[in-house]
Structures are given as structure tokens and as C-alpha cells.
Amino acid sequence: MVKFLQRIGKSLVLPIAALPIAGIMLRLGQPDVIDALPFLHNILPYFGAAGSAIFDNLPMLFALGVAVGLSDDQNGASALAGIVSYLTLTKVTGQYWAMNLTPEIATTLNISFLGGILAGIIGGLCYNKFRRVKLPEFLAFFGGRRAVPIMSGLISVLIAIPLAMIWPGVQGGLTSVSGGLAGMGALGAALFAFFNRLLLPLGLHHVFNSFFWFQLGEFGGKTGDLNRFFAGDPTAGHFMAGFFPIMMFGLPALALAMYFAAKKEKRKAVAGMLLSLALTSFLTGVTEPIEFLFIFLSPVLLVAHALLSAISMFATDSLGILHGFTFSAGAIDYLINFNLATKPLLLLLVGLGIGAAYFFVFYTLITKLNLPTPGREEDDEDEDVSVGNTNVKTSDAELYVKYIEYLGGAENIVKVDNCATRLRLDVVDSAKLNEKGLKSIGAKGVVKLNSTTVQVIVGTTVEFVADGIKDILNKRAS
């Protein structure tokens, strides 16, 4: 189940990756920007329409992304199956409500993003199940991958009726829970941030985020803290603002703490790596490369990270700060959405305090617990390995070959997948991995979930590494 949920969480990254450019275009098309740039008043509305096209259809994009992510080989037929499933679910559930409920109630019901995720699950699993179905010769045209969208549509019809029957209760329950959490004020926001970070090692935080950012509340037909924020809801941003101090100040300060905690003779060796990861977190809000340097070293560090995140969210919410992002809480989103935010300058002051807390807490824990963060390893542990850096100069093709070698060889690799920063692998035996070798060619860490499931933290170039490994394995297999 954990593995299955991980794949869903990873799959949600695909459609979410479309949000940064959509957010920029949507922002440029807002009336205040048009008024400020009157010489572009005939052009900017088109940007706004383009951005709105993405935000208005996110549930469908979620269906597509999850379907592709759950499919065995990410074939386009799985994406089509996800879309067919989503359209079927929405239309059939809508028809049921129209026939059995009053118009006032029916118009308030919407399976929205959760429906998109469910449709993606149906589409992806149908693809894996039916893509090799063989039919009698007179029906052969509808066999194989062509059977996938057909079956996903039929199964969606069967699921849509009971879904429509229970959904009013489910939506009411979710509304009550979310209302209760929102009613907790700053404490509710803090609890959200705390569990968000605790789920990070398993890659399940994306699943947890999706409800709060894309389902919670309603404003002008938009649901979710994120969508309501960009729709102009003056109450949106409670579950996003507190991440800006963490990603713009906290994690860069944590990287600085690792630098000063490193042995003096090794600080130069780790400085470049830590600086690049800190800048990535500050600018873009991509934090996993830093987080995976420490969250598996000690449960204490993970809990400390979660608690400091909760403190950040509690502080921003208590001060009435509201801010939002389309991708993540980095400086780019902070500046782009500055005019939509409430008390955004105060967010910087909170960030300085959170940064100081991260530096003090992590420097103290790392040094007092003598944890082997970058630059603190014993000499016999890292004689030929500089964590996070590439010591061996290789071409891309040679790099991918080395990845295969250090993963235990082609015969040890069962399946290769990736999320935003991690290789996700099914292997024959995780004990065959050469962790030092992987780190020597740029990997930032290895996570062994069990004897056959492994994650290798690569960074933002992970997609190229995954594709390169797949290409080599496919050529060898053929």
C-alpha cells in the first residue's frame, strides 16, 4: 500500500509541473497588471486566458498524470484512459445527482481533484490489466491498447453510480473535517505543516498536500487553498504561506549549519554542493536534495524539521500572513505573487527568525549527536567519495552505465521510475547496490525501503538519468 501511494504521490508531480508557467501567465492577465501596463492591454488578457486554461482543468490533468504514473511503461494509451475515466465519472455522477437530488444540492457537489486522482488510478490500472488483451479476429481491432480506454470507461460507469451515492456524505464529511481544521486557526495550519514534512521520507506528502491545496474550501467555483488564492479569495493562503520561510530561509540556513558543522579540512569540498542546494531551495522551493542529506541520518533531525516547519506555519498564520505559490514556496513564487499576498514583507522577518532557528537547532543536533552529515564522515568512509559531487568525469552515456553498474548490474534492476528528484527502483536485491559508488557519480543518498524497493536521490537531473538507464537496459534486452 505504501508503495502504491508513493506512485500516486510521484505521479501528481507531473501535472503540478505545469503550474509555474500557468501561474505566471495567469498573474500577467490579472486586471491590476493590465492597468499597470496599459500599452499591453490588448495582449495580457490572452496570457490570463492561457493560465486559466490550466487551473480550470487541473482535475483532468491529475487524471492524466496519475494514469501515466501508474502505468507499467508510461504509454500514451494510459493517459487517454485516465481522461476517458475522468469524463465518465464526472458526467455519470452529475447525472445521478440531477435525477435524485434537488438542484440546490446537486450544484454544490463536485468530485473535483479527488475524482481526477480516482480516474487516474482507474486508467492506469486498466492499462496494466488490459493492454495485452487478445480478442477474436472479428473484434481484433479493439484489442490490445485500444481496449484500455474502452474498459476504463465501462469500469468508470460501474464505479460512478455508487460514488455518486456516497459522495454527498463524503463531501460533507470532508467539509466538516476541513472546517474543523480551519477552525483551529494557526494550530491547524501548524499540524498540516508538521505531518507534511513527516510524510516526506515515504514520498507521501504529495498525496497529503492535494486535499488542502486543491480541495479545501470554495470561492467563485474554485476549490483548494491554492486555486482560491489565485481566484482572489482573501481568506486563502493559510496552508501555503508558512512554507516560504522554510524554503527561502530555513533550509538554506540548514545547509549553512552543515557547512560549519563539517570538518575544517573538508569544508571547501562540500561548500559548492551545499551552496547549489541552498540556492535551489531559495529560488525554486525544490527542497528534497537538501532534505535527503539528513532525514534518514536520525529520526531526531526529521522530527526537528517537522517541528520547525510547524512553528513557521503557526507564526505566519498567527500574524495574519497569507501567500501562495503555483509550484513551491521559493523566491520566484514569492515575487510573482507578491501583489496577491497579505503582509508579504512581514513574511521576510519571519523567515529570518526561522532561518536562525534552523541554523541553531541543526548545528547543535549535528555536532552533539555527531551525525555524519556532508563533511563529517570518517576518512575511511569517504576516501574516494565526496557526497553529492561527481569525482569521475564521464560523458552522459558513461554516467548511465556507471549507474547501472553501481545499482548491482542490469540483472539486478527490475523496474526504473523517477519523481522530481529521485530514482524509484524495483531491484532483485537491494544489498547488491554500491552506495559509495553511487555517491561518487553524483547521487546524494540511497533509501532502501525494503529488500526490493530502492530510491536514489539524484536531484533535478533525475529524469535524464532515468531515461538514460532505461535506454541502455532496453538496448541490451533487444
- Catalytic positions are 419
Give the separation between CA 29 and CA 406, rounded to whole angstroms. Answer: 49
Q: Is the dihedral of CA 322, 326, 328, 334 positive or negative?
A: negative
User: Which of these, 339, 470, 357, lies nearest to 403 by C-alpha position?
Assistant: 470
d(CA 291, CA 280): 12
What is the C-alpha separation between 153 and 31, in angstroms, rounded? 41
Question: Using CA atoms, how far apart are residues 435 and 243, in angstroms rounded to an integer?
Answer: 32
Instruction: Compute the distance between CA of residue 117 and CA of residue 418 in angstroms, rounded to an integer.
Output: 19
The cell numbers describing 145, all together, are: 491498447
419 touches 203 (CB < 8 A)? yes
In three-state secondary structure terms, 321 is: coil
DSSP percent split of the chain into helix, strand, coil, nearest 5: 70, 5, 25
Cell of 470: 532505461
Environment class of 134 (CB within 10 Å of its CB; exposed 0-12, middle 13-18, buried 19+): exposed
DSSP 447: E
Alpha-carbon distance of 50 to 55, in angstroms, equals: 9
CA–CA distances in Å: residue 366 to residues 43, 251, 305: 53, 15, 13
Cβ-proximal residues to 145 (8 Å cutoff; 6+ apart), any chain: 75, 77, 127, 131
User: Which residue is associated with the grid cell 437530488?
Assistant: 101
